[in-house]
Amino acid sequence: MTFNEYQKESKKTAIYPQLGENFIYPTLGLVGESGEVAEKVKKIIRDNEGKMDEKRRKELEKEMGDVLWYLAQLATELDLPLENVAQGNLQKLQSRQKRGFLHGNGDNR
């Protein structure tokens, strides 16, 4: 499945206020689900001495799926193909790597 196929299929499950005209809702969902990923990782550190096991890996996989869903809805709301978002990110990172700027601060390195 491509990113664009995922984006199209996931949109069929989207139900929220002002669907198609509301980039705020999926942005808040993305932040919330990202926080849930962080919480699960925190609990791996606290409760399992930082060791990953299959149960926790599966829990993280589900939460990362939710992150992906909200990211796809945000991209849809902004009329951005998810494939373009992914490709643009790789191009940015590859450029930084080529120029020796993977480390550091700022968006425009």
The total number of residues written for the chain in this structure: 109
| Residue 90 in domain | yes
Count of H-run helices and E-run strands, the chain? 4, 0
Q: Is 63 a domain residue?
A: yes
pTM listed for this prediction: 0.91
Q: What confidence tens digit (pLDDT) does each residue in 25-56 have?
A: 999 999 999 999 999 999 999 999 999 999 99
Residue 42 token pair? 């925190």
| 104 within a domain of the structure (yes/no) | no
Q: How many domains does the chain have?
A: 1
Domain that holds residue 44: 3-99
pLDDT 10s digit of each residue in the chain, 109 long? 999 999 999 999 999 999 999 999 999 999 999 999 999 999 999 999 999 999 999 999 999 999 999 999 999 999 999 999 999 999 999 999 998 888 777 676 6
32: domain CATH number is: 1.10.287.1080
Please, how many CA atoms are within 13 Å of residue 65, restricted to the half-sphere of its CB? Answer: 7
